[in-house]
Amino acid sequence: MTKLKKKQIRYFQERVDHWINGFGLSEWQVWKESQDLEDAYGQCQADLNGKTAIIVINPLWDYEPKDADLDRVAFHEVCELLLWPLHHIASERFVSENEWESQRHTVIRRLENAIL
């Protein structure tokens, strides 16, 4: 097992901020932490109503990660946050078509702004 260095954890946190800004998720208050996880390099937990989230990096890796590996995990976890509203409404028992369409288009517009 390889333990991430402080410099690598800071890089991960900077990349999380980069992707949050890139996707226009500035309405979220996001905490970035390092903690042991089972079977994952990263994790995102969010509260949609409070617009708060915690994005975690696992400090223990099977190999020595490169910056690109850390960036990929940061991107993945921010994408989890980006899609969190869709996850939330999909888990509701009753969701109107308008609610689904609204959330879907919110994600699409964020992607348009980030990519185009």
Please name which of 88, 77, 65, 59 lies closest in space to residue 19, comparing C-alpha atoms. 77
Distance of alpha carbon 84 from alpha carbon 35, whole angstroms: 21
pLDDT at 111 over 80: yes
Task: Give the model's confidence band at 89: pLDDT under 50 very low, under 70 low, under 90 confident, else very high.
Answer: confident
Distance of alpha carbon 62 from alpha carbon 47, whole angstroms: 30
CATH architecture for residues 2-84: 2-Layer Sandwich (3.30)
Collapsed DSSP state (helix, strand, coil) of residue 31: strand
* Crossing angle of the two packed helices 67-91 and 97-115, in degrees rounded to 10: 160
pLDDT digits (tens, 9 = 90+) for 69-85: 999 999 999 999 999 99
User: Strands 29-34 and 2-3, how do they pair?
Assistant: unpaired
The pTM score is 0.89
Please name which of 49, 43, 38 lies closest in space to residue 12, comparing C-alpha atoms. 43
Task: Give the model's confidence band at 103: pLDDT under 50 very low, under 70 low, under 90 confident, else very high.
Answer: confident
Tell me the domain boundaries of the chain.
2-84
Question: Which comes out higher in pLDDT, residue 52 or 102?
Answer: 52
